[in-house]
Amino acid sequence: MGIPANLQGRVAVYEAPGRPFEIRLFPVRPPRCNEVLVKVRMSTICRSDIHSYLGHRPNPCPGLLGHEIIGTIVELGEDIRADMRGEPLALGDRITWSEYFVPPGGSYIGDVLDLPQKSPGVDKYGHMAVTVEPHHHGGFGDYCYVLPQSWILRLPADLSDEEATPVNCGVATMVCVTERAEIGIGDTVVVQGLGLLGLYGAALAKGRGARLVIGLDPVPARRDLARRFGVDQVMNPSLADPSDLVRSVRALCGPDGADAVIEVCGDAAVVPSGLQMLRTGGRYVLGGVVNPDAFVRLDANLILRKLVTLRGVHNYHPRHLVQALDFVHANRTRFPFGELVDGKYALADVGTAMRDAAERRVLRAAIVP
Ligand SMILES: [Zn+2]
């Protein structure tokens, strides 16, 4: 066994934000004892990849993007025997893994506060300069090393690549968002933004027992699709005056407004109207404003007076990765998750894929190397 000597793999690299992608070759070495070498099967373009590529958030260059990845095991480090559930791992298995890995040695934030996703020195796949060894640490390439202190899950055989690839970012993040929104049986939930996160969020809200999910998005095709992901009522927030929109939503969420409102549109300007949609004691969770300088003017007195709980979610705990995979697997006939990956591109066409994704011509563009 083992990989051939002098093996090389392709990587799609950009020199600086907005510059064209170039395919470059980097050596592929055997994995170290606590690494796994995978052949990338599919990598989907997340909104944060687009922010990085356009220079809206800092990312080291020459850059290698892609963190929503699944792959087939080519070689296992000798210390890796099983996934995070204890399921044995073997060559040829399809796996997903956490989008981030924590530095060894533990930390106060990671271990005492139980927020490993915010451990000092945490790093993410598709977030490092390609010059950093072992070079293959993002989705837009032939190979990827699953690095030490990542959480790995073997994928069920009946789950398609399209269903499985967004699990380790989009779905796991929304498991965390809907958990923090404390959505329970009979709740009314408003989802601001019906992109990929919003659609998973609506499905998860229904899975958690919500009686009514209201989806807000200016794009008609997204509002139509949303009905298939558990959204009961859709509204176009760009047509209505904000106060009319608040009134319409509140009228559906009797007697006092929505139990929970989730922001996944990436636009901080929606926060004030979202807060007004809430009932007394309601929960507001921010999940989409991942870029810095998302300033907004709001009446803090409203938060105080209505006893609102305001929370932010960025990334997720490892338990959310397990729940994300199990939710998608268990509900794959109830919600058409596979249809969300609606564009497939070769590695050489990553620039086109990025443009289509940025211009929202596709919901989730997939790179299939
Ligand atoms: Zn992501």
Residue range 154-164, pLDDT digits in tens: 999 999 999 99
User: Residue 315 C-alpha to ligand 1 middle, in angstroms?
Assistant: 8
- Look at 323 and 104; give whichever has higher pLDDT: 323
Checking if the pLDDT of 1 tops 70, the result is no
Identify which has the larger pLDDT, 111 or 58.
Answer: 111
Q: How far is the CA of 36 from the centre of ligand 1 (A)?
A: 21
Per-residue pLDDT, 360: 86
pLDDT of amino acid 232 = 98
Handedness of CA 164, 168, 173, 175 (dihedral sign): positive
In angstroms, what is the span from residue 99 Cα to ligand 1's centroid?
8
Q: How remote is the CA of residue 48 from the centroid of ligand 1, in Å?
A: 6
**How would you classify residue 328: left for phi > 0, otherwise alpha for psi between -120 and 50, otherwise beta?**
alpha
Counting Cβ atoms within 10 Å, is residue 142 exposed (0-12), middle (13-18) or buried (19+)? buried
Residue 161 Cα, ligand 1 centroid: separation in angstroms? 17
Ligand 1: distance of its center to the CA of 107 in Å?
24
Distances from the Cα of 12 to the Cαs of 69, 140, 152, 254, 350, in angstroms? 14, 6, 24, 51, 7
Going from the Cα of 173 to the center of ligand 1, the distance in angstroms, rounded, reads: 8
Distance 118 CA to ligand 1 centre (A): 15
**What is the distance in A from the centroid of ligand 1 to the CA of 291?**
12
Give me ligand 1 centre to Cα 274, in Å: 23
CA of 168 to the centre of ligand 1 (A): 8
In the predicted model, is pLDDT for residue 265 greater than 60?
A: yes
pLDDT digits (tens, 9 = 90+) for 191-229: 999 999 999 999 999 999 999 999 999 999 999 999 999
Structure confidence at residue 239 (pLDDT): 85
Confidence of residue 58 (pLDDT cuts 50, 70, 90): confident
Q: How far is the CA of 66 from the centre of ligand 1 (A)?
A: 8
For residues 46-69, average pLDDT: 92
Mean pLDDT of 9-20: 95
Task: Tell me whether residue 332 is exposed, middle or buried, using C-beta atoms within 10 angstroms of its C-beta: 0 to 12, 13 to 18, 19 or more.
Answer: middle
Mean pLDDT of the chain: 96
Predicted TM-score (pTM) of the model is: 0.96
Secondary structure element (H or E) that encloses residue 277, with its range = helix 271-277
